[in-house]
Chains A and B, each alone.
Chain A
């Protein structure tokens, strides 16, 4: 079981909302309204861990080890939302989301193949790690910079935990796991997709289409792309880090070098023939 090991690893790194955030360093002069809007949207996006946790528990009913891990993951993701909400409550109460705005991102996700979900969320954590690091670089207000660093580190830790479960899946069901991971890896490193390739931007409920992406249910549905392109400026250099994070770790899992996305696609094609 990986759960006890991961529990220890994550417990060792746990930070406290009360003791580990330097609230006293807040500098109101280093914030814009647009940045506060972004913090609000991030707080709501993080709230969507709730339907994701519900999906994980439903779709991984046969995997008690992973389901136990979801308890930690869910706790930590909700805390991400909470720390951003607390920041807004203290320093910009007009930007605190309403309960209805938070509730809007909780809606049922269609059933999804568990191995693909696992790989998708590994890729999502890799991407989120870079988004938050980029957001930290964009902001100059010290408290939110500190918070974004904590969030980025948590997401990297989650990515490593998902990676551990992917490794275990490859030991248990090698072919099915390999096929699922390659499929998602190719999708998540495709240049034809836009730069907001994250689970919160995917359609997840056919019956609600097109109103079935988390990002689309934000109070400002266009925010994510604007935030990435025009505000934190998540440019090609950041995108390249995401791609290398995904490819490098898939390479470690599958024992094949994937120097670029093309190599991953070629490997998948070769296996299909």
Chain B
């Protein structure tokens, strides 16, 4: 499977790499990442699954379930 590409999210006016940099600086669960660092919620939504794969491939994906496990 090919590496997820560093797309430019139109609704966020940001590249995946720029979103990843924000996530690296202040990590958030994926849903909160969408709210805080992207415009995907009020935008078109096309990037969400690709962004999840991109963030996961770089070891920065935090799912809500994994937070529950930690607690």
Contacts and interface: CB of A to CB of B under 8 A. Distances in A.
Contact of B43 (A156, A163, A248, A249): A156
B8 A156 contact: no
Nearest to B7: A252
Contact of B10 (A9, A129, A252): A129
Instruction: Please provide the 8 A-B residue pairs with the shortest distance between their CB atoms, ordered closest to farther.
Output: A248-B8, A156-B44, A160-B46, A153-B44, A252-B5, A157-B44, A156-B10, A252-B7
Nearest to A245: B10
Given A153-B11, A241-B13, A244-B13, A251 B6 contact: yes
Interface string A221-254: 0000000000000000000010011011101110
Contact of B44 (A13, A247, A248, A249): A13
B60 interface: no
A156 B47 CA distance: 10
Interface in A150-193: 152-154, 156-157, 159-161, 163
A126 interface: yes
Contacts of B47: 160
Main secondary structure of the interface of A (DSSP, over half): helix
Contacts of B66: none
Interface residues of A, number: 24
Contacts, number: 49
A149 interface: yes
A248 B6 CA distance: 8
B13 to A, nearest CB: 5
B45 interface: yes
Q: Is the interface of B mostly helix, strand, loop or mixed?
A: loop
Interface residues of B, number: 14
Interface in A127-141: 129-130
Of A9, A161, A248, most buried by chain B (CB within 10 Å of CB) is: A248
Interface in B1-45: 5-8, 10-11, 13, 15, 42-45
Interface string A51-89: 000000000000000000000000000000000000000
B8 A149 contact: no
A248 B15 contact: yes
B10 A159 contact: yes
A176 to B, nearest CB: 21
Contacts of A248: 7-8, 15
B42 A149 contact: yes
A156 B42 contact: no
A173 to B, nearest CB: 18
Contacts of A154: 44
Contacts of B13: 241, 244-245
A251 B13 CA distance: 15
Nearest to A164: B46
